[in-house]
């Protein structure tokens, strides 16, 4: 299937740095914690934490969320999807949580992530940071921090490649015809 590259390594680096600035602008580092949604959201959350440390010189807590058990299509999919570990080793109650994910599409992943998060405590605020917003929401959910908005057809496939999770240089491409 033909694919078109829409972000390269530099574009991704700049987008992450800008998002880090925006996160800080909207509330500083006080009570801030970043939680990545497996798998590439974890990479994005880590990069945002590194960028925030570079800007403010402070470490903010980070966590990993696996939303498999909260999916709304669990009874519809074939063999059960692989469940990975959720790692949140701090109390999220009264924290400002920034959820990170790579591609923001239907909003169902985020819905599941919100359900999962509230099982861990009651954050003061939950915000959403995504590298790509490709539209086609099926739920009333929006992102607070966006790396890049890409208009797509629903049939197209947006693929994000990040060094840490995919073993190849960072880039984003769109697969399939409009």
Asked if 139 interacts with another protein (CB under 8 A), we say no
Asked if 61 interacts with another protein (CB under 8 A), we say no
Asked if 166 interacts with another protein (CB under 8 A), we say no
Least Å from the CB of residue 60 to another protein: 22
Least Å from the CB of residue 78 to another protein: 4
Q: How far is residue 71 CA from its own chain's centroid?
A: 16
158 and 3 Cβ atoms separated by less than 8 Å: no
Q: Which residues does 178 contact at the CB level (< 8 Å), separation at least 6?
A: 152, 153, 156
Least Å from the CB of residue 64 to another protein: 10
Q: Which residues does 125 contact at the CB level (< 8 Å), separation at least 6?
A: 27, 96, 97
* Identified binder of another protein from the candidate list 75, 140, 154, 167, rule CB under 8 A: 75
CA–CA dist 123, 61 (Å, integer): 14
| Residue ranges binding another protein (CB under 8 A) | 66, 68-70, 74-75, 77-80, 82-87, 115-116, 119-121
């Amino acid at each position: 299937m033909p694919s078109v590259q829409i972000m390269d390594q530099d574009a991704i680096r700049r987008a992450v740095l800008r998002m880090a600035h925006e996160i800080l602008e909207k509330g500083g580092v006080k009570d801030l914690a970043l939680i990545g949604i497996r798998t590439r959201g974890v990479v994005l959350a880590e990069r945002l934490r590194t960028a925030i440390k570079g800007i403010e010189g402070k470490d903010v807590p980070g966590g990993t969320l696996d939303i498999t058990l909260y999916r709304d299509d669990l009874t519809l999919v074939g063999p059960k999807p692989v469940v990975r570990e959720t790692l949140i080793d701090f109390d999220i109650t009264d924290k400002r949580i920034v959820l990170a994910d790579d591609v923001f599409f239907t909003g169902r992943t985020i819905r599941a992530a919100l359900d999962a998060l509230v099982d861990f405590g009651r954050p003061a605020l939950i915000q959403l940071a995504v590298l790509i917003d490709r539209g086609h929401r099926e739920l009333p959910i929006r992102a607070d921090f966006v790396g890049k908005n890409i208009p797509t057809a629903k049939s197209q496939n947006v693929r994000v490649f990040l060094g840490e999770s995919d073993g190849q240089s960072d880039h984003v491409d769109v697969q399939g015809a409009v």
